[in-house]
Structure 1
């Protein structure tokens, strides 16, 4: 928002975020060239796993772009990107299985996911307002307003922290399904694990950035 010496605090998160982004793109590109012996496209795999889990009410939709895959718990729709929907690559199947893992979490009431979904609207709202209140509070000398900004941003930090177990568990479920239910070969599972591990680091980087931003806000408030 403005420069001050506390920006140095964010450097570890910035470096981790850069490394994670490069890593996930590199791993996905590498294993997108490796066809899986399972013999299914991403969309076919998604439907197979969902029906095997008894989740007949979850829809599957194609989505433009690459690595835009996600599960929407509000509408019970798994949206798969162009890079995974029709692909039978190891990378695509790993990403698809991960997103189906979220659908299974939702169906089973996985507690961290329930908490994340509950606070998601509040976290988005608070994240948008936090810096506005914080900066206005600093500029006007209204310390209470700056404190409110810190409190609001803390909700966004909590959301980032809760996201980690949700994402790691979805990857764990994906690997278990591919290994036990579909008997994916060990060398292919190694590729899936590489892709999902790289993707998980983007969430770690986001969480670290949020935490360090909160620390920075507190330091600025105390200094002023």
Structure 2
């Protein structure tokens, strides 16, 4: 898949992490029903690989379903076998290079300009600015875009709806959103509230003009 094109087109990456595999699967499927096209299932969640495999079977081969928190080569191989179409890493480790070798696009975790240059050398298709809130928020993204104006940044970490709008206005290609969107749904919480939050975030990303 062309991860960068998907990020530019949809602008919202949902991050699902939960300790209840059945609830996590329902969360993924509910998000997809609401029109959230890009969904990442974090490997730190209980039974995450099974969730990816079941979601892949339910959503079909064309779904833009990925695996997150990919740290090692083993993580990358396992995610690939489960049906992940892309990988997301919190940092620049073996998962990035292995994903590239497997033919999977990688959203690689970066924080500093040095990280950014290394991620480019490793073949990352897009750059996960993480943890974005701790790094200084939209202002830090603007600072990074001065020397790197054409690179695709995806802020992740503490991104609620107002922050999503601010990051997109600052030039982010997309935003990655975990608990402000998913909340307790992946642990068995209400799906009706999840649908409302999904619609709120979709409204935000649709309103902000593309950089």
TM-score computed with the length of structure 1 as normaliser: 0.27
Bigger helix fraction? 1
* Structure having greater relative contact order (Cα 8 Å, sep ≥ 6): 1
TM-score computed with the length of structure 2 as normaliser: 0.28
Bigger strand fraction? 2
